[in-house]
Amino acid sequence: MLDAEEALEAELKKLDAALEERRSIQKALKEQDAKRLLAFTATEGNDGVVGPQHWLCDRLWEHLENWNKQAGRWQEELRFLDLRTDYQRKAYFPGPSGTLAWTLEHQADRLLEMLGHGPKYKEVQASQDVKRQMGARLVPILQESSNILRLMFGGSHEYYLAVRAQATNHRPLQQSHSQAAETS
């Protein structure tokens, strides 16, 4: 297992260096490379020996999340975000983790963009039922993030207040996606 960990870490260092040089994950990582890197991990049917509760997996999944985002594969992007938040919940349990809080906030931001809101307005092509499911995830994700930030920084800190405001502001959005799915 140690050999596999060292090999994966070396591959991720090469990828990091390539990203610093080229600034585009699509140029630095090709389909066969992504599959090869994922094969190191013991996740979702892979025969690899690293993880899934390993910090290298979290690092890899972050790269694959970004790679899939750039490729327009939003379902895969969300899958890797889910893997990351699941890992972080378990790795940093029982204490609060800023890493998890900010990953959750990022996840909510991406869901908003996919639903056609936010700064980029890149709504995904999905059924109303799928969009309803995505919308239903928003507020719980933001609440979990804000709860962590409140524990870490206090109830008057700007980090907590910003995420709490997002959760409050998006309750109507969550309800509208639920209602839209019910009428279709």
Structural domains of the chain, count: 2
pLDDT of residue 4: 86
Same-domain status, 6 and 24: yes
Same-domain status, 83 and 108: no
pLDDT of residue 94: 80
The single residue listed with the structure tokens 């910003």 is: 162
> Domain range holding 34?
1-91
Statement: residue 60 has pLDDT above 90? yes
pLDDT of residue 172: 62
Same-domain status, 176 and 99: yes
Tell me the pLDDT tens digit for each residue of 64-109: 999 999 999 999 999 999 999 999 999 988 889 999 999 999 999 9
pLDDT of residue 2: 78
Same-domain status, 144 and 71: no
Q: Which of 48, 73, 91 is the last residue of a domain?
A: 91
Same-domain status, 168 and 86: no
Same-domain status, 110 and 26: no
Q: Which of 74, 91, 108 is the last residue of a domain?
A: 91
Tell me the pLDDT tens digit for each residue of 5-27: 999 999 999 999 999 986 689 88
Q: Tell me the CA distances in angstroms from 180 to 129, 131, 172, 174, 184, one per residue in order.
A: 9, 9, 12, 10, 6
Whole-model pTM: value is 0.85
Same-domain status, 73 and 31: yes
Dist CA 96 CA 63 (whole Å) = 24
Q: Which of 91, 119, 145 is the last residue of a domain?
A: 91
Same-domain status, 65 and 101: no
Q: Per the structure block, which two tokens stand in for 9? A: 């870490």
Same-domain status, 61 and 100: no
Same-domain status, 166 and 108: yes
Contacts with 109 (C-beta within 8 Å, 6 or more apart), sequence order = 118
Same-domain status, 81 and 99: no
Band of pLDDT at residue 181, cut at 50, 70 and 90: very low
